[in-house]
Amino acid sequence: MVQMTVDIWVTAILVLMMMSFMIKETAFYRFGEYTLIGASGGMVLLGAYKRIMGSAITPILEGNYIYIIGIVLGATTLLRFRKEYAWISRYAVSNMIGLGVGILIPTMAESDILEQVRDTILGIPLNEPLSAFNNLVTIVVVLSVVWFFVFTREPKNPLEDKIRYFARQTLFVAFGVGIGSHIMEYAARALTALQLVLSEWLQIALVEILTNLL
């Protein structure tokens, strides 16, 4: 219970410090910002330490000496900080890029191209008017946007001009929906923080104040 109360107090104080930025950039906001950056850096270092221990050091101690190659290549990336030895780090970076590209290309081709194509090639079920309308809108929108990006030349007839105009409006709507979803996500986080401050922390603070007074 005491630990939970301390956690709520620390969280609420940091939230109030960060929200002081709405007035101006105060020393409280900078303290909260530096605390967040420092804590994030510490968590990244701790995660890296656990990953190195679990994925490299422990297997080597168990007899899997092939992981020594990974440790050596990873260590050579730090040589980029020395100009005379920076060229050595290119071997590790080139290996990471090559492996990453080799692994990601099939995955991205499947998820970003083939899967999208399969989801776009939809049937139009005449016995289901709503599904037919949704599928028809999807097909028209996708073909219009593809036309907009593929045929980038100046339109030579009114139909091409109308297709490009429709595609631009569709893209604007998509961008607006994306921005709106991000704003809603940040608003939800802010409301969650305010809920913690107003419901949990303020209630605990009032109870402690009244207890001390009585």
Sign of the CA dihedral running 172, 174, 180, 186: negative
Q: Please write the tens of the pLDDT for every residue from 124-137.
A: 776 777 777 877 88
Residue 64 has pLDDT above 80, yes or no: yes
Among 206, 176, 200, 214, CA closest to 9: 200
Tokens of 85: 């030895």
Confidence (pLDDT) at 2: 43
Q: Give the residue, 193 or 183, on which the prediction is more confident.
A: 183
Q: Please write the tens of the pLDDT for every residue from 153-165.
A: 676 778 778 888 8
Q: Mean pLDDT throughout 98-111?
A: 82
Distance between CA 69 and CA 125 in Å, rounded?
57
Distance between CA 73 and CA 95 in Å, rounded?
9
Q: What share of the chain is helix, strand, coil (3-state, %, to 5)?
A: 85, 0, 15
Q: Please write the tens of the pLDDT for every residue from 165-182.
A: 888 888 899 899 989 999
CA atoms within 13 A on the CB side of 70: 13
Distance between CA 151 and CA 167 in Å, rounded?
12
Q: Please write the tens of the pLDDT for every residue from 18-34.
A: 888 888 888 888 888 89
Instruction: Tell me the pTM.
Output: 0.53
Confidence (pLDDT) at 208: 61
